[in-house]
Structure 1
């Protein structure tokens, strides 16, 4: 598809204020509105939640089983702490994919 004679994949969206129609600078567009509350994180730490998933028959269950077998697994850790631990032990790519899926599910929990 062409947008003003330019392939649409090359056209960059320009952030603007929908109320005023004013084009925003990159600094203004990146900052969230001041009165927007931060989304709360799930109350159960990610590491603890992941350990509870060990009985599942999918990738997340496999990751939970591996986590339970690891004495240095960050039980109270966030997804980044678990990602770091997987890197330390040289985990395969599919474990990182399972971690990504688990993180999304945990955030919805």
Structure 2
């Protein structure tokens, strides 16, 4: 979505009142066009964290459908919004799930 750089950084949710412990979610809200985008959840060094599809090949994500990510280097994620808009990407580092919602 951003040339595979560190432009669209996620923010850490420091607390989780429901679990009464430190939060496990990172979020970012992105304005996207109605075009298919390919991406991963990763750190800038591509070594500390490099998560994409847990299956072979590209995995398509849908709004409000959590997906468990895997550490496969060549398996990207894709998202093809039906219409342009703002979308919230929510990554849970405890469960390694990613959810996209309409923001």
- Verify same fold: TM over 0.5: no
Q: Which has the higher helix share?
A: 1
Q: TM-score, normalised by structure 1?
A: 0.20
Q: TM-score, normalised by structure 2?
A: 0.20
Q: Which has the higher strand share?
A: 2
